[in-house]
Structure 1
Amino acid sequence: MQEPVYLDYNATTPVAPEVAAAIAPFLREAFGNPSSGHAGGRFAREAVAQARAEVAALVGADPAEIVFTGCATEANNLALLGVARALGSAKRHLVVSAVEHPAVAAPAAALAAAGWELTVVAVDEHGRVSPEAIAAALRPDTALVSVMHANNEVGTIQPVEAISAVTRPRGILLHTDAAQSAGKIPVDVESLGVDLLTLAGHKFYAPKGTGALYVRRGTSIQPVLYGADQEGGLRPGTENVPAIAGLGAAARLARERLPATREHLHRMRELLHQRLAGAVPGLELNGHPAQRLPNTLHVSFPGVSGRALLEAAQDTVAASVGSACHSADDAVSGVLAAMGIPAGRASGAVRLSVGVPTTDAEVERAAAALVAAWSRLARTNG
């Protein structure tokens, strides 16, 4: 029996061999605490510093602007709640898009429950928010705008640079969740014009449970956890040196291989789309046709349930109907609802995401299995 073709790289990626090799010494002999003064501590401290430099290089930042966290969710919470704590009562208005990941939407809702004013800006039929809509939502008391760089479900890339051109002249902080975009498309904090940016290691071949937050020098932010003064006082607790070393190695690989990776992902995605569209009349693409992650194919199969389709093909294809963080039932995705996708079309939606290890043969095998499963279900549904 062959293993199913993995097409769920937006949910998580395997740890790259080079990353596993970078981690291994810190699980065995190099186990020192980075805060210790002896040789073992210094070695661990140097490894954390090297990883910080690699992560900074990936996003065009200074190493001192990188804060290591336990995951992207923690980084997003630190960005929103940390800015809120720092500003106190000075400004209490927050703006987010309607398609944010729960790791941004939930802390935003928590701030609203605590008395902040929250404005959720709508997106168009492609899942894209317009800079004009963001500008219209801004007020004198707006403290922060948070708009993701690329959507985790449909892959739509947001016009973060244009949004920055609206927020920066007004002195409003801008945060972007780049968990899905790093390693797939260029991510540069200066080009984007952001003050805070979130990364998730397990989205670009590092281990789960490691992330980072870029904090532009001079940004008003306070910790949300208290303890010792690791990570510039913003994230207390002994550093997870093995995971951080892995994140640094993954960041280096992502930066060095980005052009080739981007081209490969795009070719695999387009091949998959061609095979499906050529065999499934009425297949519909969800997300922006051009401004989209090179690896993400979100499509609706006509006349069937996306969940039933993936169940029927599960021996050959491992994929999901949407975000792994909230795909446990048949409810229409909040992202698709925000895009105005009709319920029938949304019901037949699946998210197919390719990765660096994906091959032509795997795409051909997966496409054939999905087409066959759709044909059986469509006949049954009659």
Structure 2
Amino acid sequence: MSAGTGPDNLPWWATGVLLPVINVVLALIVSAIVILAIGEDPLGAMWTMVQGALGTSEGLGYTLYYATSLIFTALAVAVAFHGGLFNIGGEGQAYLGGLGVGLVCLAVGDMPWYLVLPLSVLGGAAFGALWGAIPGYLQAYRGSHVVITTIMFNFIASSLMVYLMVNVLIRPGQMSPESAQFDKATFLPLVQDMAAAIGIQMNPSPLNFSLFLALAACVLVWAFIWHTRWGFALRTVGANENAARYAGIDPKKVIIIAMALSGALAGLLGVNEIHGVQHRLLLNFPAGMGFTGIAVALMGRNHPAGIVPAAILFGMLYQGGTELIFDYPSISRELVVVIQGVVILFAGALEHMFRPALVRLFTPKPAGV
């Protein structure tokens, strides 16, 4: 196997760039056919989505705001995946992480945001890590498959949050299940305000300092997985548990650590949503980002360098889809969900559909043939 190629003789760029691009293009073609079937102009609709997501500073801000949350949940999936685990509990782990973030922000009073942020990160990561470590322990020591347990823990997290918000954390004197608002001193700075400080004008959007935290998390995950002995142990267990055990690595310990790290990353979604935007605890703030993060991780090949552009693409779908509904009354919210689902289908479940054709294309033919 030559440098730069995988076990199926595909160069790295064919697997990491060309194949995802083909999948996305095919998904957009199918989406265009669906739009055409309801009597609308598919090219105009697609252009509206692009313009709505990237054409204004407000649209770009919303796109990156969605991408920030998706980076956290996709990194969570990627870390577990390299350990041979399929963590589909990011939604619940993000939910509990947001609870940790909210409790910290409620407890600190009027401390300035730059002092609260490290505590907020620790709170979100700790609550998310705990919610991820429990399924990891159950698989490592009790044989309960992590896919099943993480699904169940999503529902448990949702029920727990409903109980806490309705009976414990609700602000006195109101009907809506929300906590009291955090002190304004704790609010994370918005990117538009940061840009204005250096003379760049941006329209209002919820994009906040969490974006830089997400990018830092990408660098740290990359360094951890590929440049530390703990990351090597994680990848070894993911590749072959028997070989890892022969090399002196304890797979059970690695499984628990991998799920704890995965949950911690998912829990950081709460920093973006709760600390950066909502400024209070409330129900359903993950809004499906934990599940969409699975598709983002798959499309990004479980590597931070691929996860960032994949998250931006899905952020464009969220924001562009909203603009599409405004400009095309005949296109409903449900149809936008269909378009997002088609992209997830081709980027996730059918991601390797064109791999055999690419292998044939890049495999040298025997001499004389």
Into which bin does the TM-score normalised by the smaller protein fall?
under 0.3
Hey, which of these two has a bigger chunk of helix by percent?
A: 2
For CA contacts below 8 A with separation 6 or more, give which structure has more relative contact order: 2
TM-score, normalised relative to structure 1:
0.25
Hey, which of these two has a bigger chunk of strand by percent?
A: 1
